[in-house]
Amino acid sequence: MQEASFTNLFKTIMWIIAFYYIFKFLARIFLPVLVKKAVEKAGENFQRQQQYSQDNSWQRTQNNNNDEIIINTANAKNPRETKKVGDYVDYEEID
């Protein structure tokens, strides 16, 4: 069984400080790259959604010539239920 000593405590504190500075150094190097990749991926998703929206609206205009409207509900999200808590009461300050 090891005894707790000042030198072991000092070594532990030095290791914690070393890991902190190593992590901080690596974060400065790799964090901007990770953020850039995340922004690029979000931009790609946005462009994909815009393209899907444009293609979908083009289909609707083509179908409108036949006087028929087709609504694709396969990708539609379920509407969120809103809880009605109560009525809004506006209070006025009386002097």
pLDDT values of the chain reduced to their tens digit, one per residue, 95 residues = 667 788 889 999 999 999 999 999 999 999 999 999 999 999 999 999 888 887 777 666 655 555 666 666 665 565 566 666 777 777 787 87
- Contact (CB, 8 A) for 56 and 72: yes
**What's residue 82's pLDDT?**
64
Question: Could you tell me the pTM of the whole model?
Answer: 0.41
Residue type, 50: Q
- Contact (CB, 8 A) for 2 and 8: yes
- Contact (CB, 8 A) for 12 and 18: no
Helices (H), the chain: 6-64
| Distance separating alpha carbons of residues 27 and 33, to the nearest angstrom | 10
**What's residue 93's pLDDT?**
79
